[in-house]
Structure 1
Amino acid sequence: MTVSPLFSTVLVANRGEIARRVIRTLRRLGIRSVAVYSDADADAPHVREADVAVRIGPAPASESYLSIDAVIAAARETGADAVHPGYGFLSENVSFARACAAAGVVFIGPDERALEVMGDKIRAKEHVVANGVPIVPGFSAAGMTEAAIAVAAHDTGYPLLVKPSAGGGGKGMQVVHAASELPDALATARRVAAAAFGDDTLLLERLIQRPRHIEVQVLADAHGSVIHLGERECTLQRRHQKVIEEAPSPVVDAATRARLGAAACAAAASVDYRGAGTVEFLVAGDAPDEFFFIEMNTRLQVEHPVTELVTGVDLVEQQLLVAAGRPLALVQDDIRFEGHAIEARVYAESPERGFLPATGDVLLWRPPRSPVVVDVSSSDIAPVTVRTDAAVESGSVVTADYDPMIAKVIAHGADRATALAALSTALADTVLLGVDSNIGFLRELLAVPEVTAGDMDTGLIDRIPPYAPPGPSTTALRAAASVSVMCSHRTHTSLASASYALGESTRSGRAGAAWRSLHGWRIGAPAVPVTSVFLDDAGAVHSVAFPPPGGGSGDIGPHVSAETDTRAPATTVVDADGAVWVHADGATHRLRPLTRRQAMDRRLAVRERGVAATDPALRAPMPGAVVALHVADGATVAAGDRIVTIEAMKMEHPVLAPHGGVVRLDVATGDQVRRDQVLAHVSAAADPAHEASETRS
């Protein structure tokens, strides 16, 4: 048989970490890579790493990464003979697949029929159930009598979920545990459905209690071969967004894996699937051998690295081979599973602020070391591989234009306990300064007893206590105090320049010049005679002795480390607002230096209000624009009243009065505000001196 040649040039129609990951395989295979970019990504890492890069439009995705015409034009311009869509954007767009075919460019993915059938969830379920793939048992009650519904409910099995056929948002849903509860549940659901949606048609489905989200990776070629590469556990989710993924699942045994794999392969074969795809199932927590089809994703998944690490198969390479017309070189018996892999998604967001997306300059990015060594028992020391797929590097800018996921950290060890411990260690070793992230939350989540035991369901994250970041350690406070002293005589402009210099010099390993540009600490010179440094940590004021007791000035010098394997106890940079970002003891903090007067005013204000009272200063939760003022200056408000609305990340965020009192507004409609900038004060009586001090801080 003649072997089809691989492609000479492949355009990657995506951005961020997935574009870099695809380019990595293309480079290994000797295939010329083409990157596309929007104006927001002109300096992005994937642009520099590709052999060729083409601008395709302005920052909005609708005018760049989602523009079929722009991507096709870039493919023609660069002579690309294939397009890899990554995931998201155009990866499951049947119109894009047609446009590629019309342009004579190979779409690295399935054909149009698979995209159309699996792209419609209702149609997909109807299609796969006809091919023997199990779906959640249920029925429509339209036109049925009460007696007929009762019989069908008995046949379906309790517990049942009764829900309106129209609408959504959970309105009208009723849980029925026994036949005796059914009449009342039907009446209630119909009444709510009619009032909310004008349609009282009901659906009844088996209630899957404590559901787990399990998906199966499949590979198929154009010659009729379909295999699976095992399952991934994707149960840990927040607002239907996956947070932690692992392979294999801790509850799937060999027999269930074979049944899951067979069902996934049957779903893929039913649409003559071609390439890499994922079939997703819902699994009952109390009966893990019972599973039901949810949907099929006709593309590579974000979590594909865990499968690659446990199987040793490069899924992007397999996509390229299949798209080039080659038959799979693998058969099912070739797939072996080695160890356990767990992935954490790092998002630019603030968990302590309700997971608000974050933006800003990445002043310093340093991925974790690999391999890492973890102690999983008193006698078992195991080396573990850590893989990091990142969209950013030092100097990158995280904007509001795209998804806030900026990296994935994946650990692969001999068993699940080892991989869990290694992932926590790797996250603690990950340095991201300048932008808020969920790294601290991820480490806390990995330590939840249900997670360590593998006893999870999709609602677990919603049930655990809200995330509260740890306070800064002594090491972190001393490092931030050192930087604060050196910057104490600099202007705001100088601080911004120092921040840039520190970020650049740290990235290039030349930190000395940046530090020499600042006043204060010097090697072999006297320290600045400061007795205390005051630092604001999200409202908490810390006083740090300087120099620390028992240590000379040399003990508290600048804790900035270059990108080497020798890492300092703390790593610090200063942002444009003069705040010190510090990574120490596995945690990251943003500490704002205060003058002695500012620190005193804060403490007096807390004492006057009472320890449990709320701060009168209302601060911006994130950078954005003031789009509405809901009260007039000097108005009297009650706790919970809306004061200001900020628009950021294409969403509106209301800022509410923390308590009753009189409002003083510090911003106007249309103002652009920084994170933590004071927007207004709510106080019982005017205190101009205090308010001026708050505003300056």
Structure 2
Amino acid sequence: MQQMFDTVLVANRGEIAVRVIRTLRALGVRSVAVYSDADADARHVREADTAVRIGPAAASESYLSVPALLDAARRTGAQAVHPGYGFLAENAAFARACADAGLVFIGPSAEAIALMGDKIRAKETVRAAGVPVVPGDADPRVAEAAREMGPPVLLKPSAGGGGKGMRLVRDLAVLDEEIAAARREARASFGDDTLLVERWIDRPRHIEIQVLADAHGNVVHLGERECSLQRRHQKIIEEAPSVLLDGATRAAMGAAAVEAARSCGYVGAGTVEFIVPGNDPSQYYFMEMNTRLQVEHPVTELVTGLDLVEWQLRVAAGEPLDFAQDDVRLDGWAVEARICAEDPSRGFLPSGGTVLALDEPSGDGVRTDSGLLEGSEVSSLYDPMLSKVIVHAKDRPTALRRLRAALAELTTLGVPTNAGFLRRLLAHPDVVSGAMDTGLVERDAESLVPRGVPDEVYAAAAAVRGAELAPEPRGGWADPFDAPTGWRLGGTPKPLAFPLRAAGAEPVTVEAPGGARVTDRSVTVTVDGIVHSFRRAGAWLGRDGDSWHVMDHDPVAAALSGARHGGADTLAAPMPGTVTVVKVAVGDEVEAGQSLLVVEAMKMEHVISAPHAGTVTELDVTPGTTVAMEQVLAVVTPREEAGA
């Protein structure tokens, strides 16, 4: 048997770093975490055996800095580097630099990464191996091929992954604009703006096959994962196995995935992704191969009983697989939900802030992979995924119910997340029946986001305000004249009323309800005879995976602010982030809907458009400016006013 590593550096952050460290600890391997200035007190830093600062907060100067990572490995005596996923996990130059420095890169060879990381070469390679591929073309013929095929077409960065930079084009009139946006996002995310275009298959299913290969010529597949529940081409719910496949189709797709891995001399854990017409799963097409561990790997672990990170380490250390294809068994059903820092009530804009209260589900059949702690700072600098909740059960209906219940237990106050949205998505009739496709979430997202703020939320917030005004007992006795009851001589006490405003909602005035129970961690109120309980942290309230930030509202200050900034004429940052593009200057005439600026947060772009025709009379940012949520970016004065 080959010798396992003594020390492994984990070249990543967040939940995946914590997850890798967990397996290293189980194997008795010393773990080395790395961190930027923004992550000095992060969970992965605390849980590792040792940690090394590698640079300032910007990923380009820390987690993407090859010299800094190699130096950290040298200083700590690491023999191998686990890249996790994202950042440099699929960077052939990093894999090569590790090898040149005498380090084992825990993943495939630099040559395999380069081959499969180039979607154009990858398609040509697997096609030659007999694997069916999606029709399409690549630069420099992207625009020409898109027009020849006709809409709908999908633009994809050749060097990318994770859905970043992808654009679905259904109208050729906006093709050039979409190509420019895809190139810009690809360049920012991967340092390469090369694109390819593929025929879009309407109502497709996204099915991927997990493969595992050693350096001795053994390659197996570990079944499939259903990844069709996506938003903006990003997976949000994954499960194993898929209700779409029968045994024969599973075997055929698995064999194709194994051939794809063999075609590039693959070693390690990888994933071959297929697009599958929902009405004919026998017609599957290769999309790409991810040469790394996938975010959704836990569902495969739960149905196979294998620890994929452990096998990555064993294969990298030179061990052969100790099982064959016929030994792989799928037991039960597993489903995973990705918890992201985003606000569904504000169009899924990225969110951020400090985690004030954290309750993560656990128990029978429930696993939470998380990078969070109470007090964690969630920055717009990095990927928005915070954690994953994964469940395992004997069958799919039980797994779906178990995951919904687990998401109801999840509380992340201080940072809005998509947990409540995912819980409702899991109850969608088409999800429950298994009749899913990659467009389901986009079609029905609006119906899964509650309209407005429930009355009981305001009642709970008012109860908290009332409790905060209650007098402190002195010697076991409280002076009744200190009580904020609205009492007056000869009159009936008047309930206290509080002006409140929930984020994204209009202000309201709410009376504090009687009989409420308020503690530092919870509040319970009765509204219309129904008892409602909330987790609380300051002005934040949480229930069933949803959260609300209910603030005191000062109408005078709000009026003054509106007068200063021109009310509806003001363009404010919808999320914390960085201004990447400024297309106008003060004095420019603009039309309604014209794009003026682009704000980027958590690798997502948000275009800021003119609310009406007029003149840009104020512009407070330049490219590279870091902005807070609701910070004023620009003011557009209506044309009739501008000319008055």
What is the TM-score when the length of structure 2 is the normalising length?
Answer: 0.78
Letter in 2 for 1:273: Y
Residue 581 in 1 paired to residue 540 in 2? yes
2:535 match = 571
1:436 match = 416
Judged with a 3 Å threshold, the aligned counterparts in structure 2 of structure 1 residues 310 and 524 are, in CA distance, closer, same or farther, namely farther
Give the alignment's Cα RMSD to 1 decimal. Answer: 3.9
1:590 match = 549
1:49 match = 47
Tell me if the contact between 1:362 and 1:434 (Cα under 8 Å) persists in the aligned partners. yes
- Structure 1 residue 106 displacement after superposition: 1.2
- Structure 1 residue 293 displacement after superposition: 1.2
- Structure 1 residue 21 displacement after superposition: 0.2
Q: C-alpha offsets along residues 196-237 of structure 1, whole Å, 9 cap, x if unaligned?
A: 99xxxxx99876342111110111111111111100011112
1:536 match = 501
2:404 match = 424
Question: 2:629 pairs with 675, 691, 694, which one?
Answer: 675
Does the residue aligned with 2:72 lie in a helix, a strand or coil?
Answer: helix
What is the CA–CA distance in structure 1 between the aligned matches of 2:614 and 2:465, rounded to whole Å? 35
Tell me if the contact between 1:209 and 1:286 (Cα under 8 Å) persists in the aligned partners. no
What is the CA–CA distance in structure 2 between the aligned matches of 1:294 and 1:630, rounded to whole Å? 39
1:381-400 paired onto structure 2 within 5 Å: 385-400=365-380
Tell me if the contact between 2:345 and 2:449 (Cα under 8 Å) persists in the aligned partners. yes
1:327 match = 320
Letter in 1 for 2:70: I
Of structures 1 and 2, the larger Rg is shown by 1
- Structure 1 residue 251 displacement after superposition: 0.4
1:252-267 paired onto structure 2 within 5 Å: 252-267=245-260
- Structure 1 residue 460 displacement after superposition: 1.9
Residue 292 in 1 paired to residue 273 in 2? no
What is the CA–CA distance in structure 2 between the aligned matches of 1:391 and 1:170, rounded to whole Å? 41
- Structure 1 residue 320 displacement after superposition: 0.9
1:86 match = 84
Give the unaligned 5+ runs of structure 1: 141-162, 177-187, 198-202, 372-384, 489-517, 563-567, 575-579, 606-613, 685-697
1:9-158 paired onto structure 2 within 5 Å: 9-136=7-134
Question: 1:622 pairs with 557, 561, 575, which one?
Answer: 575
What is the CA–CA distance in structure 1 between the aligned matches of 2:589 and 2:113, rounded to whole Å? 57
Range 453-462 or range 470-479, more displaced: 470-479
Letter in 2 for 1:316: V
Judged with a 3 Å threshold, the aligned counterparts in structure 2 of structure 1 residues 290 and 395 are, in CA distance, closer, same or farther, namely same
- Structure 1 residue 297 displacement after superposition: 1.1
Does the residue aligned with 1:296 lie in a helix, a strand or coil?
Answer: strand
Judged with a 3 Å threshold, the aligned counterparts in structure 2 of structure 1 residues 572 and 520 are, in CA distance, closer, same or farther, namely farther
Question: 2:363 pairs with 365, 370, 387, which one?
Answer: 370
Higher relative contact order (CA 8 A, sep 6+): 2
What is the CA–CA distance in structure 2 between the aligned matches of 1:306 and 1:396, rounded to whole Å? 26
Does the residue aligned with 1:208 lie in a helix, a strand or coil?
Answer: coil
Does the residue aligned with 2:507 lie in a helix, a strand or coil?
Answer: strand
Tell me if the contact between 2:380 and 2:576 (Cα under 8 Å) persists in the aligned partners. no
What is the CA–CA distance in structure 1 between the aligned matches of 2:100 and 2:605, rounded to whole Å? 41
Tell me if the contact between 1:485 and 1:520 (Cα under 8 Å) persists in the aligned partners. no
Q: C-alpha offsets along residues 598-642 of structure 1, whole Å, 9 cap, x if unaligned?
A: 89x89xx9xxxxxxxx97876542245789797989x99986577
- Structure 1 residue 649 displacement after superposition: 5.7
Does the residue aligned with 2:142 lie in a helix, a strand or coil?
Answer: coil
Letter in 1 for 2:415: V
Tell me if the contact between 2:227 and 2:237 (Cα under 8 Å) persists in the aligned partners. yes
Does the residue aligned with 1:572 lie in a helix, a strand or coil?
Answer: strand
What is the CA–CA distance in structure 1 between the aligned matches of 2:137 and 2:445, rounded to whole Å? 37
What is the CA–CA distance in structure 2 between the aligned matches of 1:528 and 1:15, rounded to whole Å? 48
Judged with a 3 Å threshold, the aligned counterparts in structure 2 of structure 1 residues 212 and 573 are, in CA distance, closer, same or farther, namely same
Residue 545 in 1 paired to residue 511 in 2? yes
Question: 2:222 pairs with 210, 215, 229, which one?
Answer: 229
- Structure 1 residue 239 displacement after superposition: 2.0
Does the residue aligned with 1:441 lie in a helix, a strand or coil?
Answer: helix
Question: 2:382 pairs with 384, 388, 402, which one?
Answer: 402
Letter in 2 for 1:46: H
1:687 match = none
Judged with a 3 Å threshold, the aligned counterparts in structure 2 of structure 1 residues 113 and 452 are, in CA distance, closer, same or farther, namely same
Tell me if the contact between 2:35 and 2:45 (Cα under 8 Å) persists in the aligned partners. yes
Letter in 2 for 1:587: D
Judged with a 3 Å threshold, the aligned counterparts in structure 2 of structure 1 residues 289 and 480 are, in CA distance, closer, same or farther, namely same
Judged with a 3 Å threshold, the aligned counterparts in structure 2 of structure 1 residues 616 and 418 are, in CA distance, closer, same or farther, namely farther
What is the CA–CA distance in structure 1 between the aligned matches of 2:473 and 2:302, rounded to whole Å? 46
- Structure 1 residue 283 displacement after superposition: 0.9
Does the residue aligned with 1:213 lie in a helix, a strand or coil?
Answer: strand
Question: 1:353 pairs with 329, 346, 350, which one?
Answer: 346
Tell me if the contact between 2:8 and 2:78 (Cα under 8 Å) persists in the aligned partners. yes
Tell me if the contact between 1:277 and 1:298 (Cα under 8 Å) persists in the aligned partners. yes
Judged with a 3 Å threshold, the aligned counterparts in structure 2 of structure 1 residues 547 and 276 are, in CA distance, closer, same or farther, namely same
Question: 2:450 pairs with 469, 482, 504, which one?
Answer: 469
Does the residue aligned with 1:484 lie in a helix, a strand or coil?
Answer: helix
- Structure 1 residue 594 displacement after superposition: 2.5
What is the CA–CA distance in structure 2 between the aligned matches of 1:134 and 1:424, rounded to whole Å? 37
What is the CA–CA distance in structure 1 between the aligned matches of 2:104 and 2:392, rounded to whole Å? 34
What is the CA–CA distance in structure 2 between the aligned matches of 1:171 and 1:437, rounded to whole Å? 39
Tell me if the contact between 2:466 and 2:496 (Cα under 8 Å) persists in the aligned partners. no
What is the CA–CA distance in structure 2 between the aligned matches of 1:32 and 1:524, rounded to whole Å? 57
Does the residue aligned with 2:215 lie in a helix, a strand or coil?
Answer: coil
What is the TM-score when the length of structure 1 is the normalising length?
Answer: 0.73
2:155 match = none
What is the CA–CA distance in structure 1 between the aligned matches of 2:635 and 2:31, rounded to whole Å? 54
What is the CA–CA distance in structure 2 between the aligned matches of 1:109 and 1:547, rounded to whole Å? 58
Judged with a 3 Å threshold, the aligned counterparts in structure 2 of structure 1 residues 317 and 477 are, in CA distance, closer, same or farther, namely same
Tell me if the contact between 1:369 and 1:429 (Cα under 8 Å) persists in the aligned partners. no
What is the CA–CA distance in structure 1 between the aligned matches of 2:75 and 2:378, rounded to whole Å? 29
2:529 match = none
2:393 match = 413
Letter in 1 for 2:273: E
2:461 match = 480
2:164 match = none
Range 217-226 or range 672-681, more displaced: 672-681
Range 264-273 or range 673-682, more displaced: 673-682
What is the CA–CA distance in structure 1 between the aligned matches of 2:121 and 2:589, rounded to whole Å? 56
Letter in 1 for 2:496: T
Range 52-61 or range 303-312, more displaced: 52-61
Question: 1:455 pairs with 404, 416, 435, which one?
Answer: 435
What is the CA–CA distance in structure 2 between the aligned matches of 1:573 and 1:234, rounded to whole Å? 35
What is the CA–CA distance in structure 2 between the aligned matches of 1:569 and 1:461, rounded to whole Å? 29
Judged with a 3 Å threshold, the aligned counterparts in structure 2 of structure 1 residues 664 and 115 are, in CA distance, closer, same or farther, namely closer
Question: 1:344 pairs with 337, 353, 357, which one?
Answer: 337
Number of residue pairs aligned between Structure 1 and Structure 2? 571
What is the CA–CA distance in structure 2 between the aligned matches of 1:122 and 1:641, rounded to whole Å? 35
- Structure 1 residue 25 displacement after superposition: 0.4
The percent identity for this pair of structures is 54
2:4 match = 6
- Structure 1 residue 120 displacement after superposition: 1.6
Tell me if the contact between 1:479 and 1:558 (Cα under 8 Å) persists in the aligned partners. no
Judged with a 3 Å threshold, the aligned counterparts in structure 2 of structure 1 residues 359 and 246 are, in CA distance, closer, same or farther, namely same
- Structure 1 residue 352 displacement after superposition: 2.9
What is the CA–CA distance in structure 2 between the aligned matches of 1:175 and 1:680, rounded to whole Å? 36
Does the residue aligned with 1:34 lie in a helix, a strand or coil?
Answer: strand
Letter in 2 for 1:535: L
Does the residue aligned with 1:11 lie in a helix, a strand or coil?
Answer: strand
What is the CA–CA distance in structure 2 between the aligned matches of 1:61 and 1:169, rounded to whole Å? 35
- Structure 1 residue 652 displacement after superposition: 7.2
2:204 match = 211
